[in-house]
């Protein structure tokens, strides 16, 4: 069992649950099915086209995908005038705003040299109406001329809304159904080979600093974590499409994974934006401060992790082929529970020891008490009390220590 945690999720026991629940689900969710589908356990897992593309695409975050798209758009004839409008830092929103104008979409489509180029010919319409007409023409041409399947199509709301997850569908169509085809037909401008430019704020060779390594690890881990979430989401969709597992059970297992994906996508975008800045301007605390309250979306998922594991275990046991397999599953589940319990105990103990060391450093006078005879710190926190004299509530910091020097 591996534990892969993004930097944003390293927060004690909650972090364990967040990382473990998805990975366990990925391993055994296909087993929680109806009796007639148990025989499929040894069959290849069907994946969606989206999952397949995730495995072959190098750029995984939305920001990276948009960076890659921008580079490809520089090869579209006549698109240079639009490229100049893009903001390198806030690339996602600037691309979305650009496509909302409609005309850039027509330029992209017309790069295919269709028999009938797309044009907005309603000269009486307002600029806003012309943009809507252009977007509609683009979507219609993708459906009727390029035969984009329903699962990959986007609607106007996906473009004009502010949901980044839905905007990815727009980027997907442009990348895979238009630019790929235009490149195959040789209609794109050939890109000149340049020495790879150094990103602002980074060093090369022997100049790489410990800070550079830490930042790289943080960004890479967040990308990998989001990719794992996307695979988990695709697994949920695949199970729903198979219709062999009750939808209520799927909801119980995956719970609010949709909301988590939506949040984590926006958080990763902010990480990417920060990483794009020159080193002196990188404020790595800002993304965490900005989304502090929104991290609460994980609370529901974490609190449900044990119920999800119980559901999966019960379904596996219910469909076990024999008593030996049933006992093996129970033993494996119990072992995993013990591992988690020990991990949580270690993390809790480390936290209490840090608090105790801080207490020792801050305490000037122990009033002849011998600290070395104290036991381990058992409990700490801030609690509200009411004083009897003034009947007024106030907060006090409480540290509860064990008796004796047990270890």
**Residue 358 in this model has a pLDDT that exceeds 80:** yes
**Residue 23 in this model has a pLDDT that exceeds 60:** no
| 48-52, 102-106, 353-357, 401-405: range with lowest mean pLDDT | 48-52
Query: What residues pair up with 379 in beta bridges, in sequence order?
Result: 400
Q: What would the two tokens of residue 39 be?
A: 């025989």
**Residue 318 in this model has a pLDDT that exceeds 50:** yes
CATH number, domain containing residue 103 = 1.10.418
Other CB atoms within 10 A of residue 236 CB: 19
Task: Dump pLDDT digits (tens) for 321-347.
Answer: 888 988 998 888 888 889 888 988 888
**For position 170, what pLDDT does the model report?**
95
What's the whole-number mean pLDDT along residues 373-381? 78
What's the whole-number mean pLDDT along residues 389-393? 64
Alpha helices in 101-126 (DSSP H): 103-110
- Which residue range(s) make up the domain with 143? 75-184
What is the number of domains present in the chain? 2
What's the whole-number mean pLDDT along residues 104-130? 94
CA gap 154, 170 in Å, rounded: 6
Return the higher-pLDDT residue of 11 and 122.
122
Task: Indicate whether 399 belongs to any domain.
Answer: yes
**For position 401, what pLDDT does the model report?**
60
| 72-86, 148-162, 169-183, 385-399: range with lowest mean pLDDT | 385-399
**For position 392, what pLDDT does the model report?**
66
Task: Indicate whether 145 belongs to any domain.
Answer: yes
Task: Dump pLDDT digits (tens) for 183-196.
Answer: 999 999 987 654 44
Mean pLDDT across the chain, nearest whole number?
78
**Residue 17 in this model has a pLDDT that exceeds 70:** no
**For position 154, what pLDDT does the model report?**
93
Task: Indicate whether 228 belongs to any domain.
Answer: no
Task: Indicate whether 43 belongs to any domain.
Answer: no
Return the higher-pLDDT residue of 105 and 246.
105
What's the whole-number mean pLDDT along residues 175-179? 95
Other CB atoms within 10 A of residue 311 CB: 16
H-helix or E-strand spanning residue 286: helix 285-290
Task: Indicate whether 168 belongs to any domain.
Answer: yes
Could you say which of 116, 151, 184 is where a domain stops? Answer: 184
Could you say which of 184, 218, 240 is where a domain stops? Answer: 184
- Under the banding of pLDDT at 50, 70 and 90, the label for residue 92 is confident
Sign of the alpha-carbon torsion through 11, 15, 17, 18: positive
Task: Indicate whether 270 belongs to any domain.
Answer: no
Query: What residues pair up with 406 in beta bridges, in sequence order?
Result: none
Task: Indicate whether 157 belongs to any domain.
Answer: yes
CA gap 57, 249 in Å, rounded: 32
Task: Dump pLDDT digits (tens) for 52-62.
Answer: 344 334 445 78
278-286's contacts with Cβ under 8 Å and 24+ in sequence apart are: 278/200, 278/201, 279/200, 279/201, 279/202, 279/211, 280/201, 281/201, 282/201, 282/215, 284/215, 284/218
- Under the banding of pLDDT at 50, 70 and 90, the label for residue 6 is very low
Return the higher-pLDDT residue of 336 and 41.
336
Could you say which of 184, 219, 248 is where a domain stops? Answer: 184
Asked whether 173 and 142 are in contact (CB, 8 A), the reply is yes
Task: Indicate whether 248 belongs to any domain.
Answer: no
Percentage of the chain lying above the pLDDT 70 cut: 76
């Amino acid at each position: 069992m591996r534990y892969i945690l993004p930097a944003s999720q390293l927060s004690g026991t909650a972090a364990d649950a967040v990382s473990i629940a998805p990975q366990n689900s990925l391993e055994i969710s296909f087993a929680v099915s109806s009796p007639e589908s148990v025989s499929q356990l040894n069959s290849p897992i069907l994946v969606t086209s989206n999952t397949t593309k995730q495995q072959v695409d190098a750029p995984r975050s939305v920001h990276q995908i948009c960076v890659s798209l921008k580079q490809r758009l520089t090869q579209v004839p006549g698109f240079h005038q639009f490229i100049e409008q893009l903001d390198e830092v806030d690339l996602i929103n600037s691309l979305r705003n650009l496509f909302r104008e409609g005309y850039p979409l027509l330029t992209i489509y017309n790069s295919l040299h269709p028999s009938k180029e797309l044009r907005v010919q309603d000269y009486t319409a307002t600029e806003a109406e012309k943009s809507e007409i252009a977007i509609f023409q683009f979507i219609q041409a993708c459906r009727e001329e390029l035969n984009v399947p329903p699962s990959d199509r986007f609607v106007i709301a996906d473009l004009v809304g502010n949901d980044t997850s839905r905007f990815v569908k727009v980027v997907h169509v442009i990348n895979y159904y238009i630019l790929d085809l235009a490149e195959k037909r040789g209609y794109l401008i050939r890109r000149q080979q340049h020495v790879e430019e150094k990103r602002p704020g980074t060093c090369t060779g022997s100049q790489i600093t410990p800070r550079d390594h830490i930042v790289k690890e943080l960004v890479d881990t967040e990308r990998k974590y989001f990719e794992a979430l996307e695979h988990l989401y695709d697994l949920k969709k695949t199970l729903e499409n198979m219709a062999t597992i009750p939808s209520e059970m799927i909801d119980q297992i995956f719970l609010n994974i949709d909301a988590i994906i939506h949040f984590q996508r926006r958080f990763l975008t902010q990480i990417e934006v920060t990483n794009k800045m020159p080193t002196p301007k990188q404020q790595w605390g800002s993304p965490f401060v900005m989304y502090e309250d929104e991290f609460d979306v994980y609370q529901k998922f974490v609190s449900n992790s044990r119920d999800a594991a119980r559901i999966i275990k019960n379904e596996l046991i219910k469909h076990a082929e024999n008593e030996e397999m049933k006992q093996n599953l129970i033993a494996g589940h119990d072992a995993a529970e013990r591992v988690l319990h020990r991990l949580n105990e270690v993390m809790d103990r480390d936290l209490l020891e840090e608090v105790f060391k801080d207490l020792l450093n801050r305490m000037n006078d122990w009033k002849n008490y011998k600290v070395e005879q104290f036991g381990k710190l058992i409990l700490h926190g801030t609690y509200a009390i009411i004083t009897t004299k003034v009947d007024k509530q106030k907060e006090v910091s409480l540290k509860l220590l064990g008796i004796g020097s047990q270890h």
